[in-house]
Amino acid sequence: MNPIKHVAIIMDGNGRWGLKNKKSRNLGHEAGLRTVEKIIAETIKNKIKYLTLFAFSTENWRRPKKEINFLLSLLQKFLLSKINEFDKNEIKLKILGTKVFSNKLNSELKKAEAKTSNNKKLQVNLALNYGSKSELIYSIKKLKKKRLKISIKNLEDNLFTKNIPDPEILIRTGDTKRLSNFLLWQMAYTELFFEKKLWPDFNGKDYNRILREFKKIKRNFGKI
Ligand code: FPP
């Protein structure tokens, strides 16, 4: 049976969920946050060590300012209200991406990472202002600066995901089959699961079904 150490998720469909339910896109993001909490709890139950959530991409800056501000303030509120609970539940928070937000949010993010850095039960990686292509360029530039050989090991050691095993599973909700510049290097051998449901409707039952399906897959990694 395939072990699962790391699940990555593209949480797509909040905006459509908000509009479909005769509300606003922003209410969809709020509902999406409730799903985040449920899926974190379910990840712990399944003894999975890493969960990576795509919360804000480098391309998301192209959205209307009002929606960007809403998403970032939701994140700030989430950090303030949940970080003690994270810590109590032995969850480590790590940000993947460069912190280019307001001074207040940048410092909250750093504080949250520092506070939870020794926790061992689950590592939640929040991809924020994250784009896989920039991450690769950033790593290659660092190798050049450190005069290191360009090798797989050196390149991986200079990605945001240093020391994090590659995800075995990617889930993308929202009925769209694309990777949207997410963990392109790290997902070379990842099994992809595309779900019709919008992220706020995705639940623990759906998640567990995917984990069970994954366990049945024969993974060859190029062998036969
Ligand atoms: C994609 O849905 C979702 C996002 C761009 C943001 C994800 C954010 C959350 C789940 C809530 C906040 C999370 C944290 C951890 C604070 P979309 O808006 O692209 O949906 P659409 O495809 O229907 O437009």
219 Cα–ligand 1 center, Å = 31
Phi and psi based region of residue 77 (left: phi greater than 0; alpha: psi -120 to 50; beta: remaining):
alpha
Its domain, for residue 96, covers 6-130+168-215
Residue 160 lies in a domain: no
Residue 220 lies in a domain: no
Q: Give the catalytic positions in this structure.
A: 12, 60
Is a pLDDT exceeding 80 seen at residue 1?
A: no
Could you tell me the pLDDT band of residue 220, with boundaries at 50, 70 and 90?
A: confident
Domain count, the chain: 1
Residue 140 lies in a domain: no
Quote the pLDDT of residue 23.
81
> Model-level pTM?
0.96
CA-CA distance, 189 to 139, in Å (whole number)?
20
Residues having CB closer than 6 A to ligand 1 are: 11-16, 29, 32-33, 36, 55, 60, 71, 74-75, 78, 126, 174, 199
- pLDDT of 98-133, one tens digit each? 999 999 999 999 999 999 999 999 999 999 999 999
28 Cα–ligand 1 center, Å = 8
The chain-wide mean pLDDT, for the chain, equals 96
Residue 21 lies in a domain: yes
Q: Count the residues in the chain.
A: 224
Residues with Cβ < 8 Å from 12, sequence gap 6 or more? 172, 173, 174, 176, 198, 199
Residue 125 lies in a domain: yes
Residue 158 lies in a domain: no
Residue 109 lies in a domain: yes
Ligand 1 atom having least distance to the Cα of 55: 7
Residue 157 lies in a domain: no
- pLDDT of 75-94, one tens digit each? 999 999 999 999 999 999 99
Looking up residue 208, the CATH number of its domain turns out to be 3.40.1180.10
